[in-house]
Structure 1
Amino acid sequence: MPTNPLWEPTLAYSETDLRSMDSMLVMTDGTALGSRPGIRPGDPGLTVTLSGATVNVSAGVATLSRAGQGLYRAYLAATSPGTLAAAHATYTRVDLVYLRVWDTAVDATGLRKADAVYLTGTASATPVSPSPGATEIYIPLATITVPPSGGGSPTVSSAVRQLTVAPGGILPVSSTTDIALAGNYVGQARHNTVRNVPEFWTGSAWAAQGDWQSYTPTWTALTTNPSIGNGTLVSRWSRIGQTIHWMGSLTAGSTTSGGSGLWSMSLPAMAANTGVTQLGVANYVNIFDNEYMGQVEISPGSATAGFSVKNKVTYIFTNVSDSSPVTTSSSVRLHWNITYEAA
């Protein structure tokens, strides 16, 4: 066959290059070539158990990562990394079992393999899990809490076991460390197993559908806008799909001005333009004088809500303004609660 330069194997990749390419297989850790190491959700492999004093690790697979070295894919046959050390006479001890990868390019051991390691902790009144060597490439599999002699049986916990998923996958998180981690991109999904809800990264926080959050509405009037002065205006809202739950309170102070004309409050999300006026409940209180029950009203496609209330004595409805049902003063309170359809 004639030689064709286009067919010749002119490209050459190092093992580090290939592992860096493998970083595409799992979710990022937020760095350019980094990957989140761990075990697949629901994978029973690499489970740590005790058989008497024998520490056992079941067969399994995992990914490990090291800065500058890319992603390691590891397989481990069922193994026993050691025998549980004897209990301390007085104090509890926490031991660690972890999966380690040997890479001679990093550790100059001449080895290229994975193994399981049992690392004994230090007995103490406040015991903590030991840390592997700084140069080791590893992921923790479990801790073993060993009570003092006569204090009961050792217990295995997999709480330190880290999970990972493919890019775009929904990562279950349960540890305090994982829950505190910021997201890597807007729209990233995870399942918070402590709250038992799916959450999404907004760019500044993890939020779930239906989470309540603060919202300060803009208070306006038809002719001259009000001023809150030393009063307070607060509201809370949540969203599930196009359903908005919104509640708020206006408490006038001694320097609050009601402006001039009918009052409106800006919505946390614009209302759907369905041709339907959406209604909720409102309560206007003039302390030591009267209480006016009524409704909060949102017109189709509106970005604001208005209020109308009924005098419990005269039963006459009136639109709320700086002078109706009474002149604005420090004794005025307005409360509302509505569920409406958003655009």
Structure 2
Amino acid sequence: MVATDPLWLPTLSYDESELRKMDATLFMADGTAGGLRAGIRAGDPGLAVSRTGTTVNVTGGAGVVTRAGQGAYRFQMAATSPGTIAAANATFARIDLVYLRIWDNAVDSGGLYKADTVLLTGTPSGSPAIPTPAATVIYIPLATINVPNTGGGGASSSTISTTIRQVTVAPGGILPVTSATDIAIAGVYTGQARYNTVRGLPEYWSGSAWAAQGDYAAYTPSWTAATTNPTLGNGSLTTRWTRVGRQIHYLGTLVLGSTSNGGTGVWSMSLPTAAAASGIFTFGTTNYAVAFSNDYLGAMQIDSGASTGVFVVKTGTNASSAAQVSNTVPVAASSSSRLYWSIQYEAAT
């Protein structure tokens, strides 16, 4: 098949392979040059798989199939019946596969040019696996059929699962993902959006991981002091943070070990992202705990526009008995000391 431009334009022609490659721009990319994500349109109920007795039926529908280097095979087809479920094995269960096949003689040498559905019978086994079409076959899976052994009801008791079915969207569209396979696939560009139906949340690709707004992430802060910086030694410093818009929630735990050194002067803890220069001081909760001794309650304080926070705790019962935490306040730092904090603040950006 060859397409030509109107007579009033310079004469150009494209073969079917070139047209399919251009059609790849209509669908979500798969991270390869000119590649696309094949599947059925998200939300399209077509190509549903069912059975009547042992006869498999597939409703009509449309979608796109792809092959490396071949672009987009768009298709639409009426309802079909790819066949009858084969008799069950006496001992073992098996898994059959229903898939949509694109026949392209120029690529698969199958002698045909059409779309069709196929029922591929699996191999009975104590641990049955989904069968795989031959390497030359251009296809997308539609469903699996779990066929128990004859003692479990056989072919007439088989069950159909569509979790293997893949959907696709236009470039920039929000792809719903449900299967473990789809959920595990990395994004193809920073900022890509998807909807994780298992979590019930929209997620975004950061360039290295999928995350939703409000997901917590680890952060490695800088623990410093006014005069001489502390050393963690065999202690531990664990923090987590999240953001929703410009709202930051930051929490952490500092556990001093036997080789930790509190340095000299007031302690500061770096923030995962700088605070807004809003003219407002932000306060959260903090607790300096000394095992088998006391808990000194107070607040974490972040100044307007700051990139670090300090800790203020009550050291006694009178009104003036509050001080900033350091290597000597509220008590001398030791391996029995623990510092906890939690604060919400506005980010600069």
The normalised TM-score by structure 2 is: 0.93
1:116 Cα offset (Å): 0.5
| Residue from 206, 216, 221 that aligns with 1:217 | 221
Three-state SS of the structure 1 residue aligned to 2:152 is coil
Partner of 1:250: 254
The reply on whether 1:96 has 2:97 as its aligned counterpart is yes
Partner of 2:124: 123
Which deviates the most, 62-71 or 248-257? 248-257
Partner of 2:16: 15
| Residue from 290, 298, 302 that aligns with 1:286 | 290
Cα distance in 1 for residues equivalent to 2:115 and 2:220: 56
CA deviations on 1:141-168 (whole Å, 9 max, x unpaired) are: 0011111124141111001101111111
AA of the residue aligned to 2:333: T
Partner of 1:265: 269
| Residue from 155, 161, 167 that aligns with 1:163 | 167
Cα distance in 1 for residues equivalent to 2:26 and 2:9: 28
Cα distance in 1 for residues equivalent to 2:44 and 2:15: 31
What RMSD over aligned residues (CA atoms) do the two structures have, in Å?
A: 1.6
Partner of 2:152: 151
Partner of 2:4: none
Cα distance in 1 for residues equivalent to 2:266 and 2:291: 21
CA deviations on 1:259-313 (whole Å, 9 max, x unpaired) are: 2221110011111222221111111122333321111111111111111101355
Cα distance in 2 for residues equivalent to 1:340 and 1:260: 27
Partner of 1:310: 314
Partner of 2:3: none
CA contact (8 A) 1:291 1:311 kept: no
| Residue from 337, 341, 347 that aligns with 1:342 | 347
Structure 2 alignment gaps of length 5 or more: 1-6
AA of the residue aligned to 2:322: F
AA of the residue aligned to 1:186: T
Cα distance in 1 for residues equivalent to 2:159 and 2:130: 13
Which deviates the most, 107-116 or 63-72? 107-116
Cα distance in 2 for residues equivalent to 1:330 and 1:145: 59
AA of the residue aligned to 2:327: D
AA of the residue aligned to 2:85: L
CA deviations on 1:173-195 (whole Å, 9 max, x unpaired) are: 12222122111111111111222
CA contact (8 A) 2:168 2:175 kept: yes
Which deviates the most, 286-295 or 64-73? 286-295
Three-state SS of the structure 1 residue aligned to 2:96 is strand
Cα distance in 2 for residues equivalent to 1:122 and 1:225: 66
CA contact (8 A) 2:28 2:36 kept: yes
AA of the residue aligned to 1:336: W
Cα distance in 1 for residues equivalent to 2:131 and 2:329: 70
CA contact (8 A) 2:300 2:342 kept: yes
Cα distance in 2 for residues equivalent to 1:314 and 1:256: 31
CA deviations on 1:86-126 (whole Å, 9 max, x unpaired) are: 22222212111100011121123342110010111111111
| Change in 2 beyond 3 A, CA 1:72/1:327 | same
CA contact (8 A) 1:94 1:127 kept: yes
CA contact (8 A) 1:55 1:83 kept: yes
CA contact (8 A) 2:316 2:322 kept: no
1:8 Cα offset (Å): 4.9
Cα distance in 1 for residues equivalent to 2:30 and 2:254: 45
AA of the residue aligned to 1:237: W
Partner of 2:333: 328
Three-state SS of the structure 2 residue aligned to 1:187 is coil
CA contact (8 A) 2:97 2:144 kept: yes
CA contact (8 A) 1:98 1:140 kept: yes
Three-state SS of the structure 2 residue aligned to 1:39 is strand
Cα distance in 2 for residues equivalent to 1:8 and 1:238: 56
| Residue from 208, 215, 233 that aligns with 1:204 | 208
Cα distance in 2 for residues equivalent to 1:124 and 1:252: 56
How high is the sequence identity, in percent, across the aligned residues?
A: 60
Partner of 1:3: none
Cα distance in 1 for residues equivalent to 2:45 and 2:87: 28
Partner of 2:43: 42
